[in-house]
């Protein structure tokens, strides 16, 4: 029997801030319902209500016609609600193996008896992986999850949620760290779950994914449901409801700008042992977009420029003088800044305020002697909040408490305030909505327009086309296309990305 989960007039407030304002939502079994909304719209709060993390809400939750009290996450799971949160570190248990993480719920609930060794649970772990079409061998299963990359950690969390055969599966940005083939595999799993009667609430900023997988679409803005649709979706209407009609006017094609002055010259750089060396020039006054699939070398080239990884071959020069950063601090001194791919682990400290987070790389500029100027620090953060439209209570708010898109704005804003000569942004749009994407794109283009060099690395063609003047396609560590946007096409870019080197 297919289950139905209903939210009836749900309200949720934090002090005087009313985040959910009477939400009515019906999620039917056997259907994928997509939840669309800008960062700060209330999506994460709504998910946490359903997950049992916010039990003190107004309104009621009804499962199969019966009102329930979602007092804790454990209660929500017992009632059949499984949630895969956007932040990967909330879902894995470091120190345990992949097999132990996969079967963690069953082990914790003592469903498997006394577990004395990994070998005892290995047969069941292998059977579960096989049932989900995951090609994980025993060697992989024995790995500590800390050794896994982001993509494998994401797949592990998804698999663990599916082990419990939920009535409602909530997926919050499930593909943000996955390659194209892994995304397609996930879509197949979701369709299979849907066809078996599971209700799925799917949250994503990738509109193409929603179009491909969702049966229904719900738009949330400012804590209120603004619209609902069934397939086929009217995206102009949905985006207008999500952002407001005025914001749509800014979402137009960019006007290509070309720089003439080379800022960074790279000669004979080899990204992988198997790949050939290449040379590249990055110019001031334009946004250079580097695109490629997972493993193409995007992050490697960014880290080589920023001094975050050891460069074995090649030489670099900034405007004619040798540039050889041994550490990111060397690059920063030369005005080369980088927003890394994983903002949570690489750009933020838990429980730090927005003010502290934005000032960290520039403490010397904000200090008198050895004394930090706290008023200057807060003023700097306030300017970032206002300039990038960060949804926050103020500079003292903990950066952890912000939505993913607003965290990204804070990280980007931190480096923009440092007046970079060159800005490197590695997957800057990952896990952010179309509104935050627009803000970051406009800021990047404005920075290039003022004479800086900007390098944006992404795996999404639509994201690239929305920000770049020039496009470089990386395939297996080598550029296969270097062209301005007006001289190529979406089809050519996708075709080259799909080539086997």
Closest CA to 20 of 46, 40, 39: 46
Tokens of 74: 């454990």
Q: What is the reported pLDDT for 215? A: 95
* Cβ atoms of residues 395 and 381 within 8 Å: yes
Closest C-alpha to 318, from 266, 270, 390, 391: 266
Angle at 346 between CA 341 and CA 350, to 5 degrees: 130
Q: How many residues does the chain have?
A: 501
Q: What is the pLDDT of residue 500?
A: 45
Which region, left, alpha or beta, applies to residue 123 given φ > 0 means left and ψ of -120 to 50 means alpha? Answer: alpha
Dump pLDDT digits (tens) for 396-444.
888 888 877 788 888 888 888 888 899 999 988 876 777 778 888 888 9
SS3 46: helix
Distance from C-alpha of 163 to C-alpha of 352, rounded to nearest angstrom = 35
Domains and CATH numbers, the chain: 4-248 (3.40.50.300), 262-497 (3.40.50.300)
CA 142 to chain centre: 27
Measured from the Cβ of residue 279, the count of other Cβ atoms closer than 10 Å reads 12
pTM of the model: 0.62
Query: Which residues contact residue 488 at a Cβ distance below 8 angstroms, ignoring those fewer than 6 apart?
Result: 471, 481
- Backbone conformation region of residue 246, classed left if phi is above 0, alpha if psi is from -120 to 50, else beta: alpha
Q: Using one digit for the tens of pLDDT, what is the confidence trace for 375-408?
A: 777 888 888 888 888 888 888 888 888 877 788 8
Pair 157, 92: CB distance under 8 Å = yes
Among 17, 445, 24, which residue's Cα sits nearest to residue 437? Answer: 445
- Percent pLDDT > 90 in the chain is 33
Q: Which residues lie closer than 8 Å to 346 by C-beta, 6 or more apart?
A: 340
What percent helix, strand, coil does the chain show, rounded to 5?
Answer: 40, 25, 35
């Amino acid at each position: 029997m297919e289950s139905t989960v209903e939210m009836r007039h749900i309200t949720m407030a934090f002090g005087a801030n009313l985040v959910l304002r009477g939400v009515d939502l019906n999620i039917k079994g056997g259907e994928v319902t997509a939840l669309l909304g800008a960062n700060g719209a209330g999506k994460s709060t709504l998910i946490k209500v359903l997950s049992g993390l916010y039990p003190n809400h107004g309104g009621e939750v009804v499962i199969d016609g019966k009102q329930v009290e979602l007092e804790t996450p454990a209660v929500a799971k017992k009632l059949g609600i499984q949630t895969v949160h956007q932040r990967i570190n909330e879902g894995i248990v470091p120190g345990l193996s992949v097999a132990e993480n996969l079967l963690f719920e069953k082990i914790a609930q003592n469903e498997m008896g006394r577990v004395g060794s990994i070998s005892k649970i290995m047969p069941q772990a292998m059977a579960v992986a096989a049932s989900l079409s995951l090609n994980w061998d025993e060697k992989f299963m024995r790995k500590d999850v800390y050794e896994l990359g982001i993509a494998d950690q994401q797949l592990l969390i998804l698999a663990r949620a599916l082990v419990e055969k939920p009535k409602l599966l909530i997926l919050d940005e499930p593909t943000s760290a996955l390659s194209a083939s892994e995304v397609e595999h996930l879509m197949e799993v979701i369709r299979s779950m849907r066809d078996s009667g599971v209700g799925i609430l799917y949250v994503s900023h990738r509109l193409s994914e929603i179009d491909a997988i969702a049966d229904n679409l719900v738009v949330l803005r400012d804590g209120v449901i603004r619209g609902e649709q069934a397939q086929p979706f009217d995206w102009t209407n949905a985006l207008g409801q999500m952002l407001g009609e005025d914001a749509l006017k800014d979402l137009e094609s960019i006007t290509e700008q070309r720089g003439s002055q080379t800022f960074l010259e790279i000669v004979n750089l080899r990204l992988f042992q198997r790949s050939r060396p290449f040379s590249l020039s990055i110019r001031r006054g334009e946004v250079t977009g580097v695109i490629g699939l997972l493993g193409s070398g995007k992050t490697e080239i960014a880290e080589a420029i920023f001094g975050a990884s050891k460069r074995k071959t090649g030489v670099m020069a900034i405007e004619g003088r040798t540039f050889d950063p041994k550490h990111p601090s060397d690059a920063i001194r030369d005005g080369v800044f980088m927003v890394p791919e994983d903002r949570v682990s690489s750009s933020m400290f838990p429980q730090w305020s927005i003010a502290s987070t934005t000032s960290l790389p520039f403490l010397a500029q904000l200090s008198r002697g050895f004394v930090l100027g706290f008023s200057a620090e807060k003023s700097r953060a306030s300017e970032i909040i206002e300039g990038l439209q960060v949804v926050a209570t103020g500079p003292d708010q903990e950066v952890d408490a912000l939505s993913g898109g607003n965290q990204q704005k804070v990280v980007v804003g931190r480096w923009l305030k440092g007046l970079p000569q060159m800005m490197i942004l590695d997957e800057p749009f990952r896990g952010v909505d179309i509104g935050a994407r627009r803000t970051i794109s406009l800021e990047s283009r404005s920075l290039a327009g003022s004479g800086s060099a900007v390098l944006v690395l992404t795996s999404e063609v639509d994201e690239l086309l929305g920000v770049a003047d020039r496009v470089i396609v990386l395939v297996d560590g080598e550029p296969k296309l270097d062209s301005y946007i007006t001289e190529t096409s979406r089809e050519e870019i996708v075709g080259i990305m799909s080539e086997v080197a």
